[in-house]
């Protein structure tokens, strides 16, 4: 891993989360430019090291999950309407030299925190999100945005490098090749698991979900990657856990989160995320094995 000299995560200053979940308000606002044990709770194979959250390591069939330690309100206490939210995070999927790279990660809302309790999750193509038994069950009450680098035909994946919106199922209700719309409305494809660092913005308001991504440091594109009308009122419960999950299988890679913001009151909060001087995880050349060149396992 190569680090730029002018920033060390060992010296990174943490931005303390401010969560107002008192009796008279449902406001939630937090911003983390790096993580410690007070920022997120780690489950499974997720670890914290020098401010970086790693959901998985180099072993096969791992599941890592990291969530805000407490549930947050996701519906208005008076009207039961889903609260709007805006979240942004900086991530990297880091391949290992000479290894097949996979499988992917999900930003998620879930009713339970534990991986193997409640809505149980599995590794490999299940992304630590669901499993084959509960996939598609409307009683799951899970919502996620997946970043998937394996094409699973059983989930109708469009390719092996996509972003999808998941509601109680790993069969996405909408998905797109990973990338962003640059100036001039030109689509720029992005390889999710080449070790590069990307920023994602996910906004939900008035029944419309927008998902946008770009290389870190690039100004937020005005046109989202995904724009979907979706009613989450029957999906989200009054309070939910929020965070990230990822898995490996026969293929392995590290799924890293470097920074994260969330607000249901301030859609500009993500501007406080530090995007300069971040470490680089990109391997020199492409020293990991391209899946399409081999038989699927």
Band of the pLDDT at 168, cuts 50, 70, 90?
A: very high
Q: Which residue has the higher pLDDT, 115 or 211?
A: 211
Any idea how long the chain is? Answer: 297
How much is the pLDDT for 122? 80
Q: Which two tokens stand for residue 244?
A: 């990230």
Query: What is the band of 18 on the pLDDT scale with cuts at 50, 70, 90?
Result: very low
34-47 mean pLDDT: 97
For residue 2, give the DSSP letter.
Answer: B
Mark out the alpha helices in the chain (DSSP H runs).
none
User: Residue 54 phi/psi, 5° resolution?
Assistant: -110, 120
pLDDT of amino acid 24: 38
Q: Which domains does the chain have, with CATH numbers?
A: 9-285 (2.60.120.200)
Mean pLDDT of all residues in 98-117: 89
Q: Of 194, 290, 246, 249, which Cα lies nearest the Cα of 59?
A: 249
72 Cβ neighbours under 8 A, 6+ residues apart: 19, 21, 28, 239, 240, 241, 242
Q: How confident is the model at residue 286 (pLDDT cuts 50, 70, 90)?
A: low
């Amino acid at each position: 891993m190569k680090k730029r000299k002018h920033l060390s995560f060992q010296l990174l200053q943490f931005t303390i989360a401010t969560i107002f979940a008192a009796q008279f308000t449902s406001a939630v606002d937090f911003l983390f430019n790096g993580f410690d044990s007070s920022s997120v709770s780690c489950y499974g194979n997720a670890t914290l090291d020098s401010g970086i959250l790693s959901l998985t390591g180099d072993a096969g069939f791992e599941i890592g999950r990291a969530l805000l330690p407490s549930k947050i309100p996701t519906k208005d206490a008076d009207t039961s309407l889903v609260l709007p939210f805006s979240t942004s995070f900086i991530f990297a999927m880091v391949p290992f030299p000479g290894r097949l790279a996979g499988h992917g990660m999900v930003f998620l809302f879930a009713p339970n925190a534990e991986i193997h309790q409640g809505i149980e999750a599995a590794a490999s193509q299940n992304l630590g999100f669901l499993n084959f038994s509960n996939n598609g069950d409307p009683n799951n009450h899970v919502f996620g945005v997946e970043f998937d680098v394996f094409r699973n035909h059983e989930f109708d994946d469009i390719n092996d490098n996509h972003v999808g919106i998941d509601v109680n199922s790993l069969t996405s209700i909408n998905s797109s090749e990973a990338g962003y719309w640059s100036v001039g409305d030109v689509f720029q494809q992005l390889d999710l698991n080449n070790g590069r660092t990307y920023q994602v913005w996910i906004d939900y308001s008035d029944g419309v979900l927008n998902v946008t991504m770009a290389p870190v440091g690039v100004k937020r594109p005005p046109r989202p990657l995904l724009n979907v009308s979706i009613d989450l009122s029957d999906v989200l419960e009054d309070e939910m856990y929020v965070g990230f999950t990822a898995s490996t299988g026969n293929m392995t890679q590290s799924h890293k989160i470097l920074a994260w913001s969330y607000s249901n009151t301030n859609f500009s909060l993500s501007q406080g995320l530090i995007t300069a001087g971040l470490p680089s995880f990109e391997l020199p050349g492409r020293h990991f094995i391209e899946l399409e060149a081999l038989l699927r396992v």
